[in-house]
Structure 1
Amino acid sequence: MCVQAISNPRSEDDQEKAWQAVCPLVNQLRNYYEFSIALEAVVVDLLSVLCSDEMTSRQHLEMQQSLFKQFAEILDFTLKFDDLKMTNPAIQNDFSYYRRTLSRMRMAGGDDIDKDLDVNNDMANRMSLFYAHATPMLRMLSDNTTKFVSQNKDLPVENTTDCLSTMACICRVMIENPNYRSKFSSEETVLFCLRVMVGAIILYDHVHPVGAFAKSSGINIKSSIKVLRDEHPGKVEGLLNALR
């Protein structure tokens, strides 16, 4: 996801070149937006199984490791995507330029111009609402986790919070315990665990009645933050900001 900043084109030739340059980049943004919609259904399906009332969270983890891994990979992707989005202001600049240009084109040529575009006015409006959030993927994930809890009244909220706190705890222990960490094959594995830990904490904070930062929380926030701060600042600053 690398969107280049577009300067302010003045001549018609410059405007055409800028439009041709920005269209493929906006198409990439559309792909990510549509991927977020696909993730919504996947997240609900995963939570339905991982937070069911048939077993405890640890029993789920032992019996359904592959599903937990899938959920962890979604959390990892979410945190990586949002960090890139926050550190690349050109994304919003390019998309704003695209919408301004599209608006001028529709004023000059009518609504029919939409038929020839991969990202028409309606799609651009929906994408704008998505990318307006500082962390759009995390917002989608937290909203759907909260929706899952509210729509499953027969399922104790503790099932979901226990699932999330268990994931966060396991990731933290794997990083802070030298016996586990020595088995990691690369630094990326450490960052994977950190992103999953932070993602699980944030989701827990959204659905738990008192949040993740209360003393009665099932997550050891102090130890979790210490694990983050013990890493190289340049690698975890985005994760600390997400917790803030």
Structure 2
Amino acid sequence: MGNLLKVLTCTDLEQGPNFFLDFENAQATDAERETWEKVDAVLRQSDGILSELQNYQGAITEIRQAISNSSDQDLQERAWNAVLPLVLRLKCYYEFSLRLADALRSLLGALTSPPHTPTQHLEREQALAKQFAEILHFTLRFDELKMSNPAIQNDFSYYRRTLSRNKMKNSHPGAENEVNNEMANRMSLFYAEATPMLKTLSDVTSKFVSENKTLPIENTTDCLSTMAGVCKVMLETPEYRSRFTSEHTASFCLRVMVGVIILYDHVHPVGAFARTSKIDMKGCIKVLKDQPPNSVEGLLNALRYTTKHLNDETTSKQIKSMLQ
């Protein structure tokens, strides 16, 4: 399939873009190399983070024993020693979110710059489009794992309570230097979000649009809507889907499609669900609902609860009904 986007004949323009994008084998060209290497340095850490998060056990037993026996110093020490390394891991994930935001900012700059259109950018910089997709895939997977693991919030809350009461400062003087109050406050805001990575990406995309005042907003929203259309067509067309060589590519496309819809909905003035939206929301939702229910419920919930405009008056009753 090579490095180029395969642009196939579209018989009905209202159906949106009819593309095949090689998410599996795209390689960076010389023109993409500088941005690609910068983003790749960040993405190389993503699989390890997901693996750690998937195996995150928490310190619920130690915390419960310490709280139930507040006068037992040994149990307090045991809980603290169990929680501290976990909090340091959570700090790493938070700091990774900042690097991921910078990576996305670089990709948005490359994929929206004039004079090329979003489609032309996807044709020319397919490896960067693949990295954009990988960021979205990681983001939704991270948030799914975070939402299903209450131990993360529980561990961090216990750490903050214990640190603020000065219980462990004398015996562990280096602890506050690792995650001091300022860092703890920033981490607290991050983990308080139901979908912290998605919130980070939504914020950085909105900020990208507001800071680049000479760049038409359509450059960004058309890039997002084109990506959504690409994924939808690839998923619903047997001819295209048969080109996937990995069993994981379909779920990858589903997450990417939902991710760009959410970003579009946060950036576009009227959102993704309005009749004037360039995203075929009915078609995208149908593609999701055509998958095994257990595999997409988290993605449907992401559309229900992390979008901005679903409950607007401009959203059709049919779309609202499809997402109920």
TM-score class normalised by the smaller sequence: over 0.9
2:164 pairs with one of 103, 107, 111: 103
Q: In the alignment, which residue of structure 2 is the partner of 1:127?
A: 187
Please give the per-residue CA displacement for 1:161-200, whole angstroms capped at 9, x wherever unaligned: 1100111111111111111112223332111101100000
3-state SS, counterpart of residue 113 of structure 1: coil
AA matched with 2:210: S
TM-score by length of 1: 0.94
3-state SS, counterpart of residue 84 of structure 2: helix
Q: In the alignment, which residue of structure 1 is the partner of 2:290?
A: 230
Displacement of 1:116 in angstroms is: 5.9
Q: In the alignment, which residue of structure 2 is the partner of 1:61?
A: 122
Aligned 8 A contact 2:137 2:259 in 1:
yes
Q: In the alignment, which residue of structure 2 is the partner of 1:81?
A: 142
Please give the per-residue CA displacement for 1:26-80, whole angstroms capped at 9, x wherever unaligned: 1111111001111222111111110112111111001000111111111111100
TM-score by length of 2: 0.72
Please give the per-residue CA displacement for 1:194-244, whole angstroms capped at 9, x wherever unaligned: 110000000111111211000110000001011111111111111111101
Runs of at least 5 residues in structure 2 that lack an aligned partner in the other structure: 1-52, 305-324
Counterpart check, 1:47 vs 2:108: yes
- How many residues are matched? 243
Distance 1:216 1:178 in 2: 28
Relative distance call for 1:127 and 1:189 in structure 2 (3 A) is same
Runs of at least 5 residues in structure 1 that lack an aligned partner in the other structure: none
2:243 pairs with one of 173, 183, 191: 183
Moved over 4 A (4+): 106-110, 114-117
Distance 1:170 1:102 in 2: 49
Aligned 8 A contact 1:114 1:120 in 2:
no
AA matched with 1:120: N
3-state SS, counterpart of residue 185 of structure 1: coil
AA matched with 1:87: S
Q: Percent same amino acid at aligned positions?
A: 64
Relative distance call for 1:114 and 1:122 in structure 2 (3 A) is farther
Aligned 8 A contact 1:3 1:94 in 2:
no
Aligned 8 A contact 1:105 1:113 in 2:
no
Structure richer in helix, relative to its length: 1
Please identify, of 114-123 and 130-139, the stretch whose mean Cα deviation from structure 2 is larger.
Answer: 114-123
AA matched with 2:92: N
Aligned 8 A contact 1:171 1:193 in 2:
yes
Q: In the alignment, which residue of structure 2 is the partner of 1:200?
A: 260
